[in-house]
Chain A
Amino acid sequence: MQKDETLDAKGLMCPMPIVKLARKFKEMPSGKVLELISDDVGSKEDVPAWCKNTGHQLLEMKEEKGVFYYYIKKV
């Protein structure tokens, strides 16, 4: 998956991954793709819900050895 920026949120508990994500998106231009990395299991629900609530596009999510990778396009 092509990405423009990466936000490493490993070690952060709910709700901090999406709080950091929201802050990051404020400074990113529309159309860019952010890779969000989290090891918080709750992010599996939080990130898709946040994207749905805010209108941003979750392009892909995957898990590797307990770490979750999300690719989100700023709309």
Chain B
Amino acid sequence: MEKLLFVSTHSNDDPERATIPFVLGLTALSQGKDAVVLLQIDGVWMARKGFAALVREETFPPALDMLNQFLEAGGRIMVCGPCAKKRKLEAADLIEGAVIVNAPTIIKEMGEAHNVVSY
């Protein structure tokens, strides 16, 4: 199955950039593809419990809805370990389904992906 990896580096600092990876990821899943969203830098805040509800871009459905639907449809969310650590986020702070990963796993996923797109 074709896999697409979306790298998201924003949260409420840029709601549009923070929302689009989940919109596209969800669309990819609806077309039978595998989709992964990798949260890095300030993007990791999107995986913090309750945080996505604060992110709203009027052009798209609410980010929280997109994130929940993405997970429900089988999408995977990876959180950059060092980025989370810098922001004092631990696994217990994150939503169910978000997994903290480090560089080797990220490189493995990038290598397997048909396309990697960064926002």
List the interface of chain A (C-beta within 8 A of B).
12-16, 18-19, 21-23, 50, 53-54
Contact = CB atoms under 8 A, between A and B. Distances in A.
A23 to B, nearest CB: 8
B30 A21 contact: yes
Contacts of A53: 31
Given A12-B61, A13-B60, A14-B60, A19 B31 contact: no
Interface SS of A by simple majority: helix
Contacts of B32: 54
Contacts of A12: 61
B18 to A, nearest CB: 16
Which of the four size classes fits the interface of chain B? 10 to 19
Interface of B: 23, 26-27, 29-32, 59-61, 69, 73
A15 to B, nearest CB: 4
6 contacts: A13-B59, A15-B26, A18-B27, A19-B26, A19-B30, A54-B32
A18 B73 CA distance: 13
Nearest to A21: B30
Contact of B23 (A14, A22, A54): A14
Contacts of B30: 15, 18-19, 21-23, 50
Contacts of A15: 23, 26-27, 30
Nearest to A52: B31
B102 to A, nearest CB: 31
A53 B30 CA distance: 10
